[in-house]
């Protein structure tokens, strides 16, 4: 049994739980900056926000999230009513559940987005933590490749909204449909071999080429060679003579060519993009940072037309992606795209003595009416120390209230970055707003 109180002699650690973060105001400001831009782009494309609880029944992930996720990465427990519960490791099963529950009442195509926090028991490392926030953008009800194209275009627009250029990232696309048709029609693998090869290719980037070859041979009984259909050489024509393969490749080509035609040039076919989840059925993609310091996948997504079937519903054609806040922040840092931190408090009123608190409050109240964020120091410390504190907290402006200001009608507002000052009165709030905004 857990004890409710710590033994008196033990000092508690100030560390947060392994792999999760505390968000001090500066970290929170970065997160808000990222979330605001995410929401802005999603809404510009006509997506509406939804959310759900962090807690889900564990069975939700058994059907289609993949063995690794369920057996190794979930935080699961049994509640007091003997129910198996999981802290959501991804949002896709949740949103599929929500769509399935109200399918008859919803208008389609439904365009939805969410910014959930997700929990995965992973080894914490650069870009991978145990709790992260993930923008999820999904469109339900469009079977044509226009949905895949829209979703990939949004991923592109999202990075550009932060000031990134095409050279900063690469969009790598592949197709589960193409892969499955190659596995069955070209390589003639059994279902079991196809499944195992899919998992192996998904892990390829984390293995040496020799280890990959050895593992592949164990699965298929002979050396495995990628067909390299992107190059249109060697056995290309022969493979294209098989109808399923040809159709899947044509669909993939249409997506890539349309994206290029619409101005997205940094998109390429990469047959090693598989995506770990079992629910994907068509086009899959990932977006990679091109900066060698952060050479990792930022976004992952694709088409998953069959997921609603786990709820006994008819299939609904769906495409979506997820992008995490950890990798996004790393991307913005290496490309120097993060703005300098400024406190959301715009003005700190420094008070010389507590007898001037009423005067300070009068000014604060008026400024707040004008939508200016104002804090009053009240520490009774020296004015020099109060200004240092405002600087430390990155509060950009100060007003000092002493006997002159309390008695008179005017006061000074000072910008701390360059000591620029204006003298003003409360009646001139417009002047104050212009100075600070």
**Interface residues with ligand HAM (CB under 6 A)?**
90, 92, 120, 122, 128-129, 132, 134, 136, 138, 297-301, 320-324, 326-327
From 366, 392, 365, 396, select the one nearest 379 (Cα to Cα): 392
Residue 216 C-beta: closest distance to ligand HAM, Å: 23
Smallest gap, in angstroms, from Cβ of residue 131 to ligand HAM?
8
Of the pair 138, 405, the CB lying nearest ligand HAM is at 138
Q: Omega of the bond prior to 133 within 30 degrees of 0, cis?
A: no
Closest residue by Cα to residue 196 from 218, 213, 229, 211: 218
In whole angstroms, how far apart are CA 87 and each of 116, 118, 120, 411?
11, 7, 8, 53
CB of 266 to ligand HAM, least distance (A): 17
Exposure string for 276-299, b = 16+ CB within 10 A, e = fewer? bbbbbbbbbbbbbbebeebebbbb
Q: How far apart are CA 86 and CA 93, in angstroms?
A: 12
Helix 325-334 vs helix 25-44: crossing angle, to nearest 10:
100
317 or 322: CB nearest ligand HAM: 322
Q: Which residue lies nearer to ligand HAM by CB, 328 or 347?
A: 328
- CA 216 to CA 223: how far, in whole Å? 7
- Residue 235: CB atoms within 10 Å: 12
Kind and range of the H or E run holding 76: strand 75-78
Minimum CB distance to ligand HAM, residue 134 (Å):
5
Residue with smaller CB distance to ligand HAM, 317 or 320:
320
For residue 40, give the 3-state DSSP assignment: helix
Give whichever of 327 and 377 is closer to ligand HAM, judged by the CB atom.
Answer: 327
Classify 81 as helix, strand or coil: coil
- Least distance in angstroms from the C-beta of 223 to ligand HAM: 29
Which H or E element spans position 271?
Answer: none
Q: Which is nearer to ligand HAM, 269 or 279 (CB)?
A: 279
Looking at beta carbons only, is 282 or 320 nearer to ligand HAM? 320
CB of 14: closest distance to ligand HAM in angstroms?
A: 23
HSE on the CB side for 403, CA within 13 Å? 0
Q: How far is the CB of 320 from ligand HAM (least distance, A)?
A: 3
Query: Which residue lies nearer to ligand HAM by CB, 128 or 381?
Result: 128
Minimum CB distance to ligand HAM, residue 138 (Å):
5
């Amino acid at each position: 049994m857990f004890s409710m109180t710590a033994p008196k002699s033990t000092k508690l650690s100030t560390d947060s739980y392994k792999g999760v973060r505390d968000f001090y105001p500066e970290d929170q400001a970065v997160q808000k900056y990222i979330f605001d831009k995410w929401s802005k782009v999603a809404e510009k494309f006509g997506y509406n926000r939804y959310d759900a609880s962090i807690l889900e029944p564990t069975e939700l992930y058994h059907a289609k999230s993949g063995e690794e996720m369920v057996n190794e990465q979930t935080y699961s427990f049994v509640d007091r009513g003997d129910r198996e519960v999981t802290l959501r490791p991804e949002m896709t099963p949740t949103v599929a559940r929500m769509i399935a529950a109200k399918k008859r009442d919803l208008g389609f195509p439904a365009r939805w987005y969410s910014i959930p926090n997700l929990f995965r028991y992973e080894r914490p490392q650069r870009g991978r933590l145990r709790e992260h926030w993930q923008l999820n953008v999904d469109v339900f009800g469009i079977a044509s490749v226009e949905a895949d194209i829209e979703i990939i275009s949004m991923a592109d627009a999202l990075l550009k909204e932060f000031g990134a250029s095409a050279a900063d990232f690469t969009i790598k696309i592949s197709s589960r449909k193409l892969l499955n048709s190659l596995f069955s029609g070209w390589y003639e693998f059994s279902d079991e071999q196809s499944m195992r090869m899919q998992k192996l290719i998904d892990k390829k980037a984390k293995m040496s080429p020799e280890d990959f070859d050895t593992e592949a041979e164990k699965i298929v009984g002979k050396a495995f060679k990628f067909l390299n259909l992107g190059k249109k050489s060697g056995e290309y024509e022969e493979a294209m003579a098989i109808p399923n393969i040809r159709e899947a490749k044509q669909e993939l080509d249409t997506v890539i060519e349309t994206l290029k035609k619409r101005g997205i040039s940094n998109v390429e076919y990469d047959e090693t993009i598989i995506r770990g989840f079992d629910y994907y059925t068509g086009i899959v993609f990932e977006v990679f940072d091109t900066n060698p310091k952060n050479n990792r996948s930022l976004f992952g997504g694709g088409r998953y037309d069959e997921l609603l079937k786990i709820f006994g519903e008819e299939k609904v054609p769906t495409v979506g992606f997820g992008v995490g806040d950890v990798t996004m922040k790393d991307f913005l840092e290496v490309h120097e795209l993060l703005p300098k931190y400024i406190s959301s408090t715009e003005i700190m009123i420094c008070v010389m003595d507590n007898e001037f608190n009423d005067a300070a409050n009068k000014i604060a109240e008026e400024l707040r009416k004008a939508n200016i964020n104002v804090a009053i120091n009240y520490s009774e410390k020296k004015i020099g120390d109060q200004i240092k504190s405002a600087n430390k907290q990155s509060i950009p402006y100060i007003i000092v209230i002493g006997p002159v200001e309390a008695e008179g009608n005017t006061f000074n507002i000072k910008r701390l970055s360059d000591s620029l000052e204006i003298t003003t009165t409360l009646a001139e709030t417009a002047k104050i707003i212009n100075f600070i905004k």
